[in-house]
Amino acid sequence: MAFRRRKVWLWRWRRNPLRRRSDSVEAWVVLIAWTVTVAGGVLAGLAATHTVARTLARERAEWRPAVARLLENAPASAADGARVWARARWTAPDGSVRTGQARVQVGSARGTPVPVWTDTAGLLVGKPPSAATAATRAALIGALTGAAAATVPLVGGRLLRGRLERRRLDRWDEDWARFGPAGGRTAG
């Protein structure tokens, strides 16, 4: 049965005659890295969630449905079999007439009314997401942004700790070479 030592919390911060300066530096690196990781990730995630939610709410408020009329017959077949692009005309919110490409059913005839969505400038846009879809999308983007933002200080802290560890091991090698296994005495 292996002997298991009890974990001592905050051991790097306690007074100890064997504590080296590198132990204190490492303790500060760990504290700062975790603080910036957690705070930065949460703040970046919340900011991204708020921004995306606000943008999608604005789209739902500003984008309007319109009816476009086909200016040509739609192609009779499509690769995916569902929708094709065809030239259509619609009226923009400012009353001007616009033309462009709209997605329509395969084989639609010229003059067929087609439901489309327009932005405030009268340009064709996709249907805005529902409030539930927008909330889900904002939450997912916020979570991914927070995780990505938290990765930077976490990786930076790990790299810095690895460098400190290599430096500490190099110093131990130097001390070992200087004093040797016999405590500085040589056989002879």
Percent of residues, the chain, with pLDDT higher than 90? 59
User: What is the model's pLDDT at position 62?
Assistant: 94
Query: Mean pLDDT score of the chain, rounded to an integer?
Result: 88
Percent of residues, the chain, with pLDDT higher than 70? 89
Average pLDDT over residues 109-123: 93
Which residues, including other chains, have CB under 8 Å from residue 115's CB and lie 6 or more apart? 65, 66, 67, 68
| Structure tokens belonging to residue 72 | 């040509």
pLDDT tens-digit map of 13-46: 677 777 778 778 888 888 999 999 999 999 999 9
Which of 109 and 183 is assigned the larger pLDDT? 109
